[in-house]
Chains A and B, each alone.
Chain A
Amino acid sequence: MRHIISLLMENEAGALSRVAGLFSARGYNIESLTVAPTEDPSLSRMTIVTRGSDVVIEQITKQLNKLVDIVKLADITEGKHIERELMLIKVRVADKELRAELKRLTDIFGGRIVDVSESTYIVELTGSGDKHDAFIAAIDPAAIIETVRSGSTGIARGEKSLQIN
């Protein structure tokens, strides 16, 4: 099962490597990992997408909680949540027809063209990983010059939140 673990940790040197080290030392999967400071500069928020059986996920959350730098943690896939990933994709668009087609496709997927050169477009897309996969599948692989994906971040819906009291 795919899980999104969201956590708050002390914004200190080495905190990220403790998390990354834990996953490699204990043989857990990391699909993606994102981290950035929060509105409170002493805290960083990390989102980890991982896969494993219920037993493995239970161990992952317990072992993460055990790290001294980690203040709070939640498996947001346990409840209703919103998941987003940013993708930037650079595509070769040699002629008018291809440009028009990519523009249409971008509109359908709710993306934006954020850079234009004589022969390339850069499309910005926000959404779930599935949506990005579908976008990539819809264009000619030979036309793709470069893709950059941020990894998923997520947040629980409604009143639920991850914050320190």
Chain B
Amino acid sequence: MQLSGAEIIVQFLKDEGVEYVFGYPGGSVLHIYDALFQQEAVRHILVRHEQGATHAADGYARSTGKPGVVMVTSGPGATNAITGIATAYMDSIPMVVITGQVPTAYIGSDAFQEVDAVGISRPCVKHNFLVKDVKDLAMTLKKAFYIATTGRPGPVVVDVPKNVTDPKIKIPYDYPATVSMRSYNPTVKGHPGQIKRAVDLLLGAKRPMIYSGGGVILSGAHAELTQMTRELGYPITNTLMGLGAYPATDKQFIGMLGMHGTYEANMAMHDCDVLFAVGARFDDRVTGDTKLFCPHAKIIHIDIDPASISKTVRVDLPIVGDVKHVLDDMYKEIKASKRKPDAAALQAWWKQIGEWQSKDCLRFDRNSPLIKPQGVIEKLYEVTGGDAYVTSDVGQHQMWAAQFYKFDKPLRWINSGGLGTMGFGLPAALGVQLAHPDATVACVTGEASIQMCIQELSTAMQYNLPVKIVNLNNRYMGMVRQWQEFFYESRYSQSYVEALPDFVKLAESYGHVGMRIDKPGDVEAALKEAFALKDRLVFMDFITDQKENVYPMIAAGKAHNQMHLPSERELA
């Protein structure tokens, strides 16, 4: 097949099985857009801002496990995409971003819409490429997909100068079905000796704790994790990124851990004698003060990235490998072992955990005349039968969604955990809805976050994506306000938004349905009404209690047993 560079890109995407490309055209990618126009296999989703393209591709990737694909032009197209690339990088999301570039002869001359995309993206990509010769194009794209989706996944940028896609220059094309790279070979299987030792340590535990993260979801190891946890009968906590990897409604699940984790999960972390970390990276929002982290525990850590091991917390027993393979091997080892978990010790441990659980750390005032944001999420959970895909932005609403929506399945909770990118939720929801046209998709957001990518309401209209926006509108940047209340003597510097749009009218002007809810008694009916509108995007603007705080809270740099719980005053 004789194809131009532009045609090679499109044909390659088709051969690679790519359904959707999220992007925005411009000068440097015009040849590619012309090739896209002349086929139907690869569908292009036109966003309203390149940041939206990356987040939508990210939502697609997080909810399917497949790589998200983005196409943007050079210069501002590339720089606008950076926030979304960094978001994907921090959460290890597979993504391939094709950026247009000025023709090779112009590179370095400060040409119109020229930016060093490879240089700018370098610190926030798994790898990147500049393709200078059309003959390298197909293999480079193959490498990009291979690197993005294997090992610890991540975004890969492929920068393509305009002359490389010249429609007049045709070369032979064959889909490169395989690729091998001498410098890139991720370890998949865990070391058998380490696995034996880990199983021994695990079965000898008196106060065990399983701490699992986003790696379990990325690896598709939720079934293996669940099987093993049930076999052992040990308590389990999930990180923010790991929610859904173990069913939240199961009795062995004791909630999320970390800064806004449950009292019982954090206390169990502090007191455990063996910590089993599975595909989690000991992030500072999880560990608090690393010197006081799990002070009594021997730590086992499975991770596919050797650099994640002993990066912030020294571990006693590392296993480098794909979580799915390692858990499978460990389970076989446990079944084969004559040792059984210490039932008496475990019973005492669960009794202790039960006492911590009785604190009811997620309680809130259910009789308030104001809408409590936690209550909205509880109702959202009920109305959607716990089976929605939930995306979120960043802040208080994100934490409430994580605490109160009980995810029983993986790939359902879509949020920017590592980078904490406001503006992520809405475009991500569009990517999720495209990937799962018949599924219920909710975007939990706040009035500050939603405005960072609100233009994507227009994209939702164009492609008829009926996501449901749950806007917890407290007229503050809630998390900023909370920190200012706690740590800056309530000096609310720049965290109050004086002029807000009428979100109902705004939604309507984009062609959607808008609803404003300001009474607690109306919450459930509004949600039911909105979710019954299967074919429409509904923007629900919930006017919530302005001063509600997220509890429990561990202040930055404190230990797991130094938690703030909601005071009686706040519950009165």
B135 interface residue (CB < 8 Å to A): no
Known: A58-B310, A59-B311, A62-B306. A68 touches B119 (CB 8 A): no
Contacting pair A68 B118 (CB below 8 A):
no
Task: State the majority secondary structure of interface residues on A.
Answer: helix
Within 8 A of A (CB), among B123-178: 123, 126-128, 130, 147
Residues of B contacting A71 with CB < 8 Å? 182-183
Closest residue of A by beta carbon distance from B124:
A25
Interface size on B, residues (CB 8 A): 20
Residues of A contacting B314 with CB < 8 Å? 55
Known: A10-B183, A14-B130. A65 touches B306 (CB 8 A): yes
Contacting pair B310 A21 (CB below 8 A):
no
Known: A14-B130, A21-B122, A21-B123. A68 touches B307 (CB 8 A): no
Give Cα A63–Cα B310 distance, bound, in whole angstroms.
Answer: 12
Residues of A contacting B305 with CB < 8 Å? 66
Known: A14-B130, A59-B307, A62-B306. A164 touches B123 (CB 8 A): no
Residues of A contacting B118 with CB < 8 Å? 14
Give Cα A71–Cα B307 distance, bound, in whole angstroms.
Answer: 16
Known: A68-B147, A68-B181, A71-B183. A55 touches B130 (CB 8 A): no
A18 interface residue (CB < 8 Å to B): yes
Known: A9-B183, A10-B183, A62-B306. A17 touches B123 (CB 8 A): no
Contacting pair B310 A55 (CB below 8 A):
yes
Contacting pair B123 A69 (CB below 8 A):
no
12 contacts between A and B (CB under 8 A): A13-B130, A14-B122, A25-B123, A55-B310, A59-B307, A65-B306, A65-B307, A66-B305, A66-B307, A69-B183, A70-B183, A71-B182
Residues of A contacting B184 with CB < 8 Å? 68
Closest residue of B by beta carbon distance from A70:
B183
Contacting pair A164 B182 (CB below 8 A):
yes
Closest residue of A by beta carbon distance from B126:
A68
Closest residue of B by beta carbon distance from A26:
B123
- Minimum C-beta distance from A19 to chain B (A): 11
Those 5 A-B pairs whose CB atoms lie nearest each other, nearest first: A62-B307, A68-B127, A71-B183, A25-B123, A68-B184
Give Cα A69–Cα B118 distance, bound, in whole angstroms.
Answer: 14
Give Cα A17–Cα B122 distance, bound, in whole angstroms.
Answer: 9
Interface size class of A (residues with CB under 8 A): 20 to 34
Interface residues of B (CB under 8 A from A): 118-119, 122-123, 126-128, 130, 147, 181-184, 305-307, 309-311, 314
Closest residue of A by beta carbon distance from B143:
A68
Closest residue of B by beta carbon distance from A66:
B307
Residues of A contacting B181 with CB < 8 Å? 68
Known: A14-B130, A17-B122, A68-B147. A63 touches B307 (CB 8 A): yes
- Minimum C-beta distance from A42 to chain B (A): 9
Closest residue of A by beta carbon distance from B184:
A68
Closest residue of A by beta carbon distance from B119:
A17
Contacting pair B130 A68 (CB below 8 A):
no
Within 8 A of B (CB), among A1-30: 9-10, 13-14, 17-18, 21, 25
Residues of B contacting A21 with CB < 8 Å? 122-123
Contacting pair A68 B183 (CB below 8 A):
yes
Q: Which of A25, A62, A63, A164: most chain B Cβ within 10 A? A: A62
Q: A17-B122, A21-B123, A59-B311 are in contact. List 10 more A-B contacts (CB 8 A).
A: A9-B183, A14-B130, A21-B122, A62-B309, A65-B307, A66-B305, A66-B306, A68-B184, A70-B183, A71-B182
Give Cα A59–Cα B282 distance, bound, in whole angstroms.
Answer: 15
Residues of A contacting B122 with CB < 8 Å? 14, 17-18, 21
Residues of A contacting B123 with CB < 8 Å? 21, 25
Residues of A contacting B128 with CB < 8 Å? 14
Residues of A contacting B119 with CB < 8 Å? 17
Residues of A contacting B307 with CB < 8 Å? 59, 62-63, 65-66
Give Cα A55–Cα B127 distance, bound, in whole angstroms.
Answer: 25
Give Cα A65–Cα B183 distance, bound, in whole angstroms.
Answer: 9
- Minimum C-beta distance from B364 to chain A (A): 41
Closest residue of B by beta carbon distance from A24:
B123
Give Cα A58–Cα B126 distance, bound, in whole angstroms.
Answer: 20
- Minimum C-beta distance from B216 to chain A (A): 21
Q: How would residues 93 to 134 of chain A score, 1 for a CB under 8 Å from any chain B CB and 0 otherwise?
A: 000000000000000000000000000000000000000000
Give Cα A65–Cα B306 distance, bound, in whole angstroms.
Answer: 9
- Minimum C-beta distance from A20 to chain B (A): 10
Within 8 A of B (CB), among A36-77: 55, 58-59, 62-63, 65-66, 68-71
- Minimum C-beta distance from B125 to chain A (A): 10
